[in-house]
Amino acid sequence: MTEYSPLQSELKKLIKTSGPMPVWRYMELCLTHPKFGYYVSRDPLGREGDFTTAPEVSQMFGELLGLWAASVWKAIGSPQLLRLIELGPGRGTLMADALRALRVLPPLYQSLSVHLVEINPVLREKQRSTLSGVRNIAWHDSIDDVPDGPAVIFANEYFDVLPVHQVVRRENGWHERVVELDSHGKLEFGVATDPIPRFEVLLPPLVRAAPIGAVFEWRPDAEIMKIASRVRDQDGAALIIDYGHLRSDAGDTFQAIARHSFADPLKNPGQADVTAHVDFQSLVRASEDIGARVHGPVPQGDFLKRLGIETRAVTLMAKASHEVSEDISSALKRLIGTGRGGMGSMFKVMAVSEPNLTSVAGFADEQETKAELP
Ligand SMILES: C[S@@+](CC[C@H](N)C(=O)[O-])C[C@H]1O[C@@H](n2cnc3c(N)ncnc32)[C@H](O)[C@@H]1O
């Protein structure tokens, strides 16, 4: 379906005047163009929107993440102030569920200050209403603006929306993948004329052997380095959850999602979510390079099971009607399932912490943190 896309005319004008545009810049404009960007103008979540995320599937997800934050707080010596930071908090659902779970621990609940890093004004309004009544809450444009202090940081489906570079292997080296205009003036993919000098030396070993025509995707390390250096220096831990791969490898995962289906990423720019899978190996490498400790990554299903999601589901089902019970059971399957539509293995979870935190809940085999919620 073709919709009116005011961003498309802008992009075409830009390409006509400045030449082909790298894929990362195209993605950045599609998502965050100040007037027509996808994440500037709408709430894309839920059944009526374009996609559904884990916190929107079930309250169990945010509740368990709340308990995870509590376990980190205890492990770092129960500081009197803990900053609970969420990057890209959507509708505020994860934070609301996490805070509800944390109420069972008054000393921690009272020490919390909540920080939401969000660029989308429509979603900020939703978050304000979801989290009305929460004291000590602030919104920020970037993690750079969050005041210092021990922190637990959540980033669920945040990294996949950060702009990605695509490079393509040709006989003479690796070339930046670009968006350009075809002979009819339509957007199409192409490759930059010249190879990127000495790009091979930066490539992970598996990718160096990729065949001609292979695509490799990479994101700058800036965002993960900010997160990792913050927890390294100021105590605490970050939890990164996203769909992606454990090993850096070649492959084209640049995609658009509209109304719960895949769409052509060059059609209707600004009207669909454009994303690419997260390369967890590169997040691990960047975090370890600057001296933070990495836990995982592990499949989301394993992580949630270790945190006690099955017990939590049983507790909720015991108090629910037959119909609600069925909903809880299908939400559980969706969150931990590994079959079609399941998020259990497609999504990975990794934590980054200060170096002295040798283990955090959800990553070892023993069942350390069980849900103990009313
Ligand atoms: C895919 S949604 C995930 C929402 C939420 N974490 C959830 O799981 O429901 C991406 C979120 O990141 C926000 N976002 C996108 N780009 C961002 C950026 N550069 N800085 C901060 N937030 C951003 C979006 O507005 C949205 O809240």
Q: Name the residue ranges covered by the structural domains of the chain.
A: 6-41+164-218, 54-162+222-353
CATH of 54-162+222-353, one of 3.40.50.150, 1.20.1630.10, 2.40.100.10, 3.30.1520.10: 3.40.50.150
- pLDDT tens, 36-82? 999 987 888 877 778 899 999 999 999 999 999 999 999 999 999 99
At residue 319, what are phi and psi to the nearest 5 degrees? Answer: -100, 0
Among 86, 157, 152, 75, residue whose Cα is nearest residue 117:
86
Whether 175 contacts 168, CB under 8 Å:
yes
> Which residue bears the tokens 């109304």?
259
Distances in whole angstroms, Cα of residue 108 to Cα of each of 114, 286, 363: 12, 31, 23
The response to whether residue 243 sits with its C-beta less than 6 Å from ligand 1 reads no
Per-residue confidence (pLDDT) for residue 370, from 0 to 100: 46
Give Cα 198 distance to the centre of its chain.
Answer: 30
* 316 sits in which H/E element: helix 309-318
What's the chain's length in residues?
374
pLDDT tens digits for range 312-358: 999 999 999 999 999 999 999 999 999 888 999 999 999 999 999 99
Tell me the C-alpha distance between 214 and 141, whole Å. Answer: 36
CA of 341 to the centre of ligand 1 (A): 21
Would the CB of 123 count as within 6 Å of ligand 1?
yes
Residues 111, 147: contact at Cβ < 8 Å? no
For all residues of the chain together, what is the average pLDDT?
94
Instruction: Decide if pLDDT at 373 tops 80.
Output: no
**How many CB atoms neighbour CB 246 within 10 A?**
15
The answer, yes or no, to whether residue 374 has pLDDT greater than 80, is no
Give the whole-angstrom CA distance, residue 272 versus residue 166. 19
Bridge partners (DSSP) listed for residue 295: 351
* Strand extents, DSSP E, 89-214: 112-117, 137-140, 151-156, 165-170, 173-181, 187-191
Query: Residue 51 Cα, ligand 1 centroid: separation in angstroms?
Result: 12
Residues 227 and 143 sit within 8 Å (Cβ to Cβ)? yes
Measured by CA distance, the residue closest to atom 23 of ligand 1 is: 88
With a 6 Å cutoff on the Cβ, whether 55 touches ligand 1 is yes
Single-letter residue type at 3: E
Say how many C-beta atoms besides its own lie within 10 A of residue 125's C-beta: 13
**What pLDDT is attached to residue 296?**
97
Which residue is associated with the tokens 């590169």? Answer: 282
Which residue puts its alpha carbon closest to atom 18 of ligand 1?
Answer: 119
Determine which helix (DSSP H) or strand (DSSP E) holds 74, and give its type and residue range.
helix 59-75
Structure confidence at residue 11 as a pLDDT band (50, 70, 90): very high
Which protein residue's CA is at the shortest distance from atom 21 of ligand 1? 118
